[in-house]
Structure 1
C-alpha cells in the first residue's frame, strides 16, 4: 500500500528505526492526525545490523533482546537508541563492514 508520505516524497523517503528508539513510532499513523509513515523502512537491530523491511514480529523479538541485555540500565536503552550519534555510528559501521 502506498501511503500519502510515499506519494509526497515519490519513493525517496526512507524511515530508520534504531532498535528500541520509541520516537519513530509516534505519532500513531492514521487519518485522525493525518499522519503516515513512509513504507520503506530500515531497521537497525541490537547488533547494529541494518535490515530493510524487517517484519514487525522480528523487530519486536530483536527489541526484546536489546532491552534484556541492558536490564541493569532499565529504560535507558530507548534514550540511547534515540540519540542521533547512535544512528550515525551504526549506519557508518554498517557501510564500512558491508552489512
Structure 2
C-alpha cells in the first residue's frame, strides 16, 4: 500500500436506506405567457403546479407526488399510474424525477 494515499473508508448503505422505495415521476414543464413555469405530472393524474421558476415548480410537485404514492401504499391500494403516460404538448419539456419515499 502506498503511504502517500491513505485509504478512505467507503460508506455503505444501511438496510434502512436500501429499503426506501423509489418511484419515477414524469413531469412536463412549460413556460406560460407571463413567463411563469407550469409543471404537470404525466404519469399520475391531478398533480400540477405553477411557479416563478422550474425549480420551484418541481419542488412543489415532489411532496404532492410523495403523498399520493405514500397514501396509496399505506391504504394497500395500487398506485394509479397513467399507462401510457399523458401525451406531451409541443411547448413542453419532459423531466424525470426519481422520488424516494
Same fold per TM (> 0.5)?
A: no
Higher relative contact order by CA 8 Å / sep ≥ 6: 1 or 2? 2
When you count strand as a share of all residues, which structure comes out higher?
2
Could you tell me the TM-score, scaled by structure 2's length?
A: 0.31
Could you tell me the TM-score, scaled by structure 1's length?
A: 0.32
Q: Which has more radius of gyration?
A: 2
